[in-house]
């Protein structure tokens, strides 16, 4: 089930009404109902994958208690490795088996060795990368004694499968979300209004901006050989806003639905394209994932408390793993490597060039444009179907073929839709004038906001149940 589907339009009000009608019963009844609703939501795609999430939940629930109970460091570490092995093993099998098998065969073929490798017809379970990292953080935090395991299996299972953020995040930590299942939740009109604001704005980003931009983006990236510098540049720029609005729109809807149910999820995006440095971009983009890698990969590797070469190596490892997390394709690995290289170059530059204080408005704007250009360059590899297509697009981009063929420029969606695509990007920047978290204090302001955005959705939105981009990860 996806948020922008007819089924969800029916599902959410039913869940909302039953959930709050149970608030007069007890907390356990609410949690049990949320667990059933979450499993129904996830099973709507393919009920067979419910066994995976249930198995992962059971393993980490038991392992968490065993890690906490064990007194010997070796025993505690053994149980942690079991958790890592089970979770990463499932993730690796379903997401990366064919990729590594094909890469091994091609690598050996390059050495003149022919080898038959078995590939499997495996369907990638939706959201497996997200809930795997969520359950892993629970076991790791218990291992480092940052968290005490729960004895309430229902609450833990609901934390893992919580349907608003199950399939595309934010990747919540147990320390933030799990305690909320043990606290009494009373209906709040203020929370309902704020949650509605987030949902409506999330749909605006998805169906008005992202889905409209996708028409042009898909046409450019599916046929790079017939493009010139201008159409490729526009395709990459449009994709940068498509993926941002698509993913941040999902996160807003997730936060809004959670708020309707009395829960607070973390903010996952903070206007990343206003970043003045690449490290700042990663403090603003997919925050739940970047902080996860920081806490569970980067810091355990030593972080910046090591020699300079090792420090740079740690950064590269983190971004290479991040690229691989996004997908079983060399394009994602190159994308991650590029961001790692950007980070290292920035650190070297910062070390060589002294801080000159406030850069001023013009310098800040130039910094933003420069960082945005770097991010867009990396997006080419992220979006392209293959490494070959990526380099072909870069080759055409730097050929500076600036001939403007209006028929080619508008052929993919017509002049009206093309201009509407540009307009929607302008509307996005207009919304930057709004409070960042849309935390309105007056109900009247919220209602006016909702009405205005709803009108835009009805008049400019793209019809159809288009999946969110990050569902494939």
**Average pLDDT value for residue range 162-191:** 90
% of the chain surpassing 90 pLDDT: 52
pLDDT-derived band at 167 (thresholds 50, 70, 90) equals: confident
* Weakest mean pLDDT among 102-111, 347-356, 437-446: 437-446
Neighbours of 146 (CB within 10 A): 13
More confident residue, 271 or 109: 271
Largest alpha-carbon pair distance within the chain?
72
pLDDT at 439 over 50: no
Q: What is the mean pLDDT of the chain?
A: 86
**Residue 253 and residue 457: Cα distance in Å, rounded?**
14
Q: For 169, what's the count of Cα atoms within 13 Å in the CB-facing half-sphere?
A: 29
Neighbours of 9 (CB within 10 A): 10
Evaluate whether 194 touches 438 at the Cβ level (below 8 Å).
Answer: yes
User: What's the pLDDT score for residue 368?
Assistant: 92
3-state secondary structure of 195: helix
pLDDT tens by residue, 107-145: 666 666 766 666 566 677 788 888 999 999 999 999 999
Distances (CA, A) of 457 to 50, 212, 254: 34, 11, 18
User: What's the pLDDT score for residue 226?
Assistant: 83
pLDDT tens by residue, 1-16: 788 888 999 999 999 9
pLDDT at 342 over 60: yes
Distances (CA, A) of 218 to 50, 77, 373: 32, 47, 20
User: What's the pLDDT score for residue 197?
Assistant: 85
**Residue 269 and residue 144: Cα distance in Å, rounded?**
28
User: What's the pLDDT score for residue 442?
Assistant: 47
In the 8-state DSSP scheme, what is residue 178? G
Q: Quick one: how many helices (H) and strands (E) in the chain?
A: 19, 0
Which residue stretches of 178-269 are H helix? Answer: 189-203, 211-222, 229-260
- Go through 280-302 and write b for each residue having 16 or more CB atoms within 10 A of its CB, e for each that does not: bbbebbbbbbbbbbebbebeebe
219's tokens: 């046409």
More confident residue, 422 or 61: 61
User: What's the pLDDT score for residue 127?
Assistant: 82
103's tokens: 């890469």
> In sequence order, what DSSP letters do the residues of 391-416 get, joined into one string?
HHHHHHHTTT-----HHHHHHTTHHH
Distances (CA, A) of 435 to 44, 265, 439: 35, 18, 7
pLDDT at 416 over 70: yes
pTM over 0.85: yes
Neighbours of 22 (CB within 10 A): 17
> In sequence order, what DSSP letters do the residues of 2-31 get, joined into one string?
-TTSHHHHHHHHHHHHHHHHGGGS-HHHHH
User: What's the pLDDT score for residue 376?
Assistant: 96
pLDDT-derived band at 473 (thresholds 50, 70, 90) equals: confident
* Burial of residue 319, with CB atoms counted within 10 A of its CB: 0-12 exposed, 13-18 middle, 19 or more buried: buried
pLDDT at 89 over 60: yes
**Residue 218 and residue 414: Cα distance in Å, rounded?**
14
> What is the distance of C-alpha 403 from the center of its chain?
36
> In sequence order, what DSSP letters do the residues of 290-319 get, joined into one string?
HHHHIIIIITTTTTTSS-HHHHHHHHHHHH
Closest CA to 319 of 334, 302, 336: 336
More confident residue, 460 or 270: 270
3-state secondary structure of 160: helix
**Residue 197 and residue 440: Cα distance in Å, rounded?**
9
pLDDT at 412 over 60: no
* Weakest mean pLDDT among 79-88, 208-217, 353-362: 353-362
Active site residue 68: no
Closest CA to 461 of 255, 152, 209: 209
170's tokens: 């934010």
279's tokens: 């490290």
**Residue 294 and residue 285: Cα distance in Å, rounded?**
13
User: What's the pLDDT score for residue 103?
Assistant: 63
The domain limits of the chain are 6-187, 190-276+359-472
Is the link from the previous residue into 291 a cis peptide, with omega within 30 of 0? no
User: What's the pLDDT score for residue 434?
Assistant: 62
**Average pLDDT value for residue range 293-311:** 92
Evaluate whether 457 touches 204 at the Cβ level (below 8 Å).
Answer: yes
Q: Looking at 68, 286, 326, 339, which residue is catalytic?
A: 326
**Average pLDDT value for residue range 330-336:** 94
> What is the distance of C-alpha 130 from the center of its chain?
9
In the 8-state DSSP scheme, what is residue 432? T
Neighbours of 330 (CB within 10 A): 17
Determine the straight-line distance between the first and last CA of the chain, rounded to whole angstroms: 16
């Amino acid at each position: 089930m996806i948020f922008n589907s007819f089924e969800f339009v029916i599902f959410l009000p039913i869940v909302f009404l039953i959930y709050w009608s149970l608030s007069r019963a007890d907390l356990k009844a609410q949690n049990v109902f949320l667990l059933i609703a979450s499993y129904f939501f996830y099973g709507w795609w393919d009920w067979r994958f419910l066994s995976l999430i249930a198995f992962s939940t059971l393993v980490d629930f038991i392992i968490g208690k065993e890690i906490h109970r064990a007194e010997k460091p070796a025993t505690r570490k053994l149980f942690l490795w079991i958790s890592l092995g089970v979770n990463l093993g499932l993730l690796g099998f379903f997401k990366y088996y064919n990729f590594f098998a094909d890469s091994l065969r091609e690598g050996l073929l390059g050495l003149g060795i022919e080898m038959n490798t078995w590939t499997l017809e495996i369907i990638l379970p939706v959201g497996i990368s997200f809930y795997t990292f969520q359950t892993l953080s629970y076991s790791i935090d218990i291992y480092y004694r940052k968290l005490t395991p729960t004895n309430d299996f229902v609450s833990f299972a609901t934390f893992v499968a919580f349907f608003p953020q199950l399939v595309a995040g934010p990747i919540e930590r147990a320390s933030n979300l799990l305690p909320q299942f043990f606290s009494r939740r009373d209906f709040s009109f203020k929370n309902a209004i704020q949650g509605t604001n987030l949902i409506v704005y999330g749909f605006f980003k998805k169906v008005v901006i992202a889905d409209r931009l996708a028409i042009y983006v898909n046409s450019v990236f599916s046929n790079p050989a017939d493009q010139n510098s201008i159409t490729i540049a526009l395709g990459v720029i449009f994709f940068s806003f498509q993926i941002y609005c698509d993913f941040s729109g999902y996160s807003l809807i997730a936060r809004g639905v959670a708020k309707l149910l009395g829960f607070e999820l973390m903010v996952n995006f903070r206007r990343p394209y206003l970043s003045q440095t690449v490290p700042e971009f990663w403090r603003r983009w997919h925050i739940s994932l970047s902080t996860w890698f920081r806490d569970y990969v980067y810091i355990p590797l030593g972080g910046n408390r090591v020699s300079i070469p090792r420090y740079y190596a740690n950064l590269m490892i983190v971004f290479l793993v991040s690229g691989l997390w996004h997908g079983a394709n060399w394009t994602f690995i190159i994308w991650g490597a590029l961001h790692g290289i950007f980070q290292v170059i920035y650190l070297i530059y910062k070390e060589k060039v002294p801080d000159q204080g406030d850069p001023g408005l013009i310098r800040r704007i130039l910094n933003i444009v420069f960082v945005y250009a770097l991010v867009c360059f990396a997006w080419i590899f992220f979006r392209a179907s293959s490494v070959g297509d990526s380099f072909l697009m870069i080759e055409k981009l730097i050929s500076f073929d600036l001939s403007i063929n209006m028929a080619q420029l508008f052929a993919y969606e017509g002049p009206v839709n093309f201009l509407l695509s540009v307009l929607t990007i302008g509307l996005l920047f207009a919304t930057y004038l709004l409070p960042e978290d849309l935390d309105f204090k007056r109900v009247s302001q919220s209602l006016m906001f909702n009405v205005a955005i709803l009108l835009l959705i009805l008049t400019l939105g793209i019809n159809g149940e288009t999946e969110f981009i990050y569902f494939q990860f």
